[in-house]
Structure 1
Amino acid sequence: MNTEIRLAIPHDAAAISQVIIQSLRQSNAQDYPPDVIAQVEKSFSTESILTLMNQRQVFVATVDHQIVATASLDRDVVRSVFVAPDHQGFGLGRTLMTTLQSIAHDANIKVLRVPSSITAEGFYLKLGFRKTRDEFHGAERTIIMDLRLSPD
């Protein structure tokens, strides 16, 4: 199994969209009602991914040259970490997060933040993030978490 972490390119947008929507429908749907999943999906169309690629550093994880995971860094905020359901549990999310943490550290970012889904809260806790508060957008609960990268 040949795995690679790399910066996303525009040609990747459709595959990134597919990974995110698949993950939302199979993994996140266990923690959120269908109307919330449908609403979140709208933010991850191919066109939306292309727009996000101009605003953030978007990374992909590939297995045998197929995109199976993604994560992005928006200054000091980790966003859109998704692993295709059939590739979850093999360390791809952790590897993507290590990449983002390294880039943030090199950019002299002291605290990395993440708006976590209910589904991903345990994942971020295992990586050392701590919960700071909950935010609600209608029925959608987001857990705001942070990780100190370097002492003050």
Structure 2
Amino acid sequence: MFIRKINEGDLEEVAHIIQRNFDEVMIQKHAREIVEKFRDRNKIEDLRQQMTWKDIYVVEIEGEIVATGALANFGDTATPKYSVSNFHVKPEHHKNGIGKALFNYLFHEAKNMNIDFLHVPSSRTGYDFYEKMGFIKDEAQRDEADEIIWMTMKIRA
């Protein structure tokens, strides 16, 4: 397993992994209109633009991209809000430790950046995973309109 930063040549495969997760996984616990809204925000051109402000990574196994995840500051320089973003594993690779390995990589990157808190806008299908990774539900951040559960993890004491 090899984790590296995304490059332009990865965009099509990464978009496909994300779309598959919306179509095959997220649809199980979310309204169709919510899934479509997220699909529309995660096309190749959107990912290309996100590369300018997110640290996006991919996981490769034997040359095949099997997962993606990013660290993104959804705040500003005065009040940063670093979050895990676009975190997806190919559905056939779920429950094989790939998500955990990628999350641990992102966690160490965040720690190296001296980030105090890490957030995640979790889908209903991702909630249990993020809880196992150490996130707790953040009652102060509510986003029911998008069927998202904000979760937070303290990184530094």
TM-score when scaled to structure 2?
Answer: 0.90
Shift of the alpha carbon at 1:136?
2.0
Whole-angstrom CA distance in 2 between matches of 1:53 and 1:93: 20
Alignment partner of 1:121 out of 116, 127, 133 = 127
Task: Say if 2:92 is the partner of 1:86.
Answer: yes
The CA RMSD measured in Å over matched residues stands at 1.0
1:70 aligned partner: 68
Whether contact under 8 Å (2:34, 2:147) holds in the other structure is no
Alignment partner of 1:28 out of 19, 23, 26 = 26
2:143 aligned partner: 135
- Deviation by residue 1:99-119 (Cα, 9 ceiling, x = unmatched): 111011011101111111111
2:14 aligned partner: 16
**Amino acid across the alignment from 1:117:** S
1:47 aligned partner: 45
- Report how many residues are paired: 147
Identity of aligned residues (%): 26
1:97 aligned partner: 103
Runs of 4 or more, structure 1, over 2 Å off, are none
Whole-angstrom CA distance in 2 between matches of 1:74 and 1:149: 15
2:77 aligned partner: none
TM-score when scaled to structure 1?
Answer: 0.93
Q: What secondary structure, in the 3-state scheme, does the structure 1 residue paired with 2:147 have? A: strand
Gaps of 5+ in 1: none
1:108 aligned partner: 114
